[in-house]
Structure 1
Amino acid sequence: MRGGRHIAAVSDACFDLAAGECLALVGESGCGKSVLASALLGLLPGNAQTEGSAVLGDGTDLLTADERTLARTVRGRRIGLVPQSPAAHLTPVRTVRAQLEETLRELTGIRKPALRAAAEQAAARAAFPAGHLDRYPHELSGGLAQRAATALALIGDAPLLLADEPTTGLDRDLVERTVDELRRHTDGGRALLIITHDLAAAERIADRVAVMYAGRIVELAEADRFFGEPGPRHPYARGLLDALPERAFAPIPGMPPELGALPDGCAFAARCSRADDRCSAPPPFDGHLACHHGVRAGTEESAHA
């Protein structure tokens, strides 16, 4: 764009996601997590550009598919979305019940007289109270709007579900109930990509964890190893866990760089106590780690020999 600037919101993101698997994508705000989800569904602004591929099991490339394909055969049917800002995605002039019933008709073919009961069952999956079904979105609290959006996303049991901060505005009991329902989605043989700041929620349901920093995935690990022993290998990922109250409760020093002004080398170097001259070059991602100082089982080793 003339007079504007180029921002690499997501770069070199590489991962796979199998049926029956939950991958948690974690990282600080502004690191590109939601942009990645929007790119998969073709929901980026008109001036955004994408490169690479994002291929479904049948060969459909989401990054090159046209709008007609995405709207008719992908969104809702093959990929469900729990949006980051649920209130903005709910139709303001229709009640929650009306929106659930419309989605049920489109995705499952259910018709009256079974539609009303089916809408209430869909709401119950996301712990949305039946007494609020006839309310409009502006009458809902943030937590209720979140649960309404989750209920809509679960209808049709899409083979892939993208859940972008699905626990925002929920108390702890509802967080656990929501993520357990999302886990049941994967246990039925479907895939889940959950984008979250809530590391406790990620630990509860994830099979693998991807850590994003400054638009790049810097670590991809099995969840039991990431949250248990030997723990994360990337210094930033270790810092995320150490910042938790139940762990060291030690914040990561400094602030993330702006995506429009990233350094030439490692984007985390300015905040990293392990940084040295090698960090002036960007560390390549080997499928597990992007760091010149990989850590495993308490020892230091090079991520790339």
Structure 2
Amino acid sequence: MPAGRYVEAVTGATFALAPGEALALVGESGCGKSVLASALLGLLPGNAETAGSARLADGLDLLAADERTLARTVRGRRVALVPQSPAAHLTPVRTIRSQLEETVRELTGTRPPALRAAAEAAAGRAAFPASHLDRHPHELSGGLAQRAATALALVGDAPLLLADEPTTGLDRDLVLRTADELRAHTRADGRALLLITHDLAAAERIADTVAVMYAGRIVETAPAGAFFGSPGPRHPYA
């Protein structure tokens, strides 16, 4: 890109996540939340640049890792993503069963005849009904598409789960149910959860800690109880 035309989408974002902890990164659309998640997984456009570090517990710096390392040892295995608009990220011409079986085979090495049962077990972890496994993504409701994407993300038992706007497009009951399920996965499996959302109800339901992003910067970080209760937010935007 020509000199002078770079835009800093995220600046000075600093946070830490412990095993079993859920952190909600909240802010309006366009503030940089999803850019930050994409940076952690090496999914930014080719002309994007990153600085600083993002270290996993074993010391691996995600921002310094090459594509081979990210593809073979990070994505799905150490960091898993529940994407925004899950239906758009599921392969439209393949059934949910075939996508789960492929993911299980790739991440765990499971082979037939155990593969079918392993895929069904993965679906069950995300409360995806076995009766819908042979359906295609366009045959699913928004809630079921979200559960299918969650099932795929949970296959590799990654210690860090990134959930990027997982409640977008869901009705209020499904928002709360999805929030409860994501929190349950965090507690039961001891994995860290980074929830990216502009839905404060979902954040309150899930988070131990809240980080508020405004114009590409984290302007406030607080325990969820203090943020949503007393003394409440401190920053004017928050």
1:173-195 CA-partner distances (Å, limit 9, x unpaired)? 33333222222232222110001
> Does the 8 Å contact 1:164/1:194 carry over to 2?
yes
1:220 is aligned to 221
Bigger mean CA deviation after superposition, 195-204 or 7-16: 195-204
Which residue in 1 is equivalent to 2:111? 111
In structure 2, relative to structure 1, the CA distance for the partners of 1:171 and 1:129 (3 Å cut) is farther
Match of 1:196 in 2: 197
Q: In the TM superposition, what are the counterparts of 1:90-101 in structure 2 within 5 Å?
A: 90-101=90-101
User: What is the rounded CA distance, in whole Å, between the counterparts of 1:90 and 1:231 in structure 2?
Assistant: 39
**Aligned amino acid, residue 207 of structure 2:** A
CA contact (8 A) 1:125 1:181 kept: no
Q: 1:186 to 1:143 in 2, by over 3 A?
A: closer
- What is the TM-score normalised by the length of structure 2? 0.92
Q: Distance in 1 between matches of 2:146 and 2:36?
A: 20
Residue of structure 1 in register with 2:40 after alignment: 40
SS at match of 1:92: coil
Matches of 2:121 and 2:171, distance apart in 1: 22
The SS at the match of 1:112 is: coil
CA distance in 1, matches of 2:153, 2:89: 11
**TM alignment of 1:36-185, pairs within 5 A:** 36-185=36-185
Unaligned runs of 5+ in 2: none
Deviation at 1:148, TM superposition (A): 1.5
Indicate the structure whose relative CO is greater, using CA pairs within 8 Å and at least 6 residues apart: 2
Aligned: 1:208 with 2:199: no
For residue 25 of structure 1, give the secondary structure of its aligned residue in structure 2.
strand
| Residues 129-172 of structure 1, C-alpha deviations (whole Å, 9 max, x = no match) | 33322122233343332221111111122100000011223333
Rg larger for: 1
1-structure distance, mates of 2:142, 2:213: 26
**Separation (CA, whole Å) in 1 of partners of 2:169 and 2:124:** 18
Show the counterpart of 1:295: none
Contact 1:31–1:214, Cα closer than 8 Å, also in 2: yes
Calculate percent identity across the aligned residue pairs.
83
Distance in 1 (alpha carbons) for counterparts of 2:210 and 2:88: 28
**Greater displacement, 200-209 / 223-232:** 200-209
What count of residue pairs does the alignment treat as equivalent? 237
Root-mean-square deviation (Å): 1.8
Q: In the aligned structure 2, how far is the partner of 1:221 from the partner of 1:209?
A: 5
> What is the aligned partner in structure 2 of residue 302 from structure 1?
none
In the TM superposition, residue 42 of structure 1 has moved relative to its aligned partner by 0.2
Corresponding residue SS for 2:237: helix
8 Å CA contact 1:126, 1:178 repeated in 2: no
The answer as to 2:9 corresponding to 1:5 is no
- Give TM-score, length-normalised by structure 1: 0.73
The one-letter amino acid of 1:229's match is S
| Contact 1:206-1:223 at 8 Å conserved across structures | yes
Q: Distance in 1 between matches of 2:157 and 2:176?
A: 20
Gaps of 5+ in 1: 238-305
